[in-house]
Amino acid sequence: MCGRFTQTAIERYADLFKASAGIILRPSYNIVPSQQIVACRRSEMGWRELSLLRWGLIPHWAKEPKTGYNMINARAETVADKPAYRDAFKHRRCLIPTDGFYEWQLGKPRKQPYFIHRKDGAPFAFAGLWEHWELEDLKIDSCTIVVTGANKLIAPIHDRMPVIITPECFEPWLDPQQDKATLLSLLKPCPEKDLEAYPIGLKVNQPGNNDPSLTERV
């Protein structure tokens, strides 16, 4: 799964996606569910744009917005058919930029957090879905991160990991006319050779802690 991650530099994300960036990003080293995050999606005119979305997808048919808190991740195995995600998978896919994400390894006396990132420090992108929800005057655009089985690097830490979309697959993932088989073929664990995972301190366990020291190796 993916329950925490970082987003720290809007300029790098605009370059990564070759997208317009008409938003302001406050760097975060400890993003938690229900917060506003940056995502890349197609505009109505067809170009790529960076938008702010609430993390935790709210299906358009939901009666209230709080249901989104439980939908921060969508399983790759069922995302095309599960009612909560089916429409978004067909029509509203996005890319969620990050510099790295956190995962917790079971252990005694406590879980050990790890930071996972690219070895070269470059930003990369999660596969995401987004949805529009509204009730009277309240309107919310929200999103979820698609997760799949862990690769060999992540497996000793956790059995799931976010789907990482490589730059050459950005266009197929965002293409509103893309066929289902092609989309599903992208939802697989990424090769472990480009990633690094290492243990970090327990400060990340507290959502209020948010500074670069969270990613320091211990």
pLDDT in tens, 124-157: 999 999 999 998 889 999 999 999 999 999 999 9
User: How many CB atoms sit inside 10 A of residue 159's CB?
Assistant: 10
Kindly indicate the confidence band of residue 91, based on its pLDDT and cuts at 50, 70 and 90.
very high
What's the mean pLDDT in 186-190? Answer: 97
Tell whether the model's pLDDT for residue 20 goes beyond 90.
no
Tell whether the model's pLDDT for residue 78 goes beyond 70.
yes
pLDDT value, residue 68 = 62
**Domain range 4-103+119-193, its CATH number among 3.80.30.20, 3.30.70.1450, 3.90.1680.10, 3.40.50.1010:** 3.90.1680.10
| Average pLDDT of every residue of the chain | 93
pLDDT value, residue 69 = 61
Tokens of 204: 């990340």
* Contact in structure between 102 and 120 (CB atoms under 8 Å): no
Q: How many percent of the chain have pLDDT more than 90? A: 83
Delimit the domains of the chain by residue range. Answer: 4-103+119-193
Residue carrying the six token digits 């991740």: 73
Tell whether the model's pLDDT for residue 93 goes beyond 80.
yes
Active site residues per annotation: 2, 103
SS3 126: strand
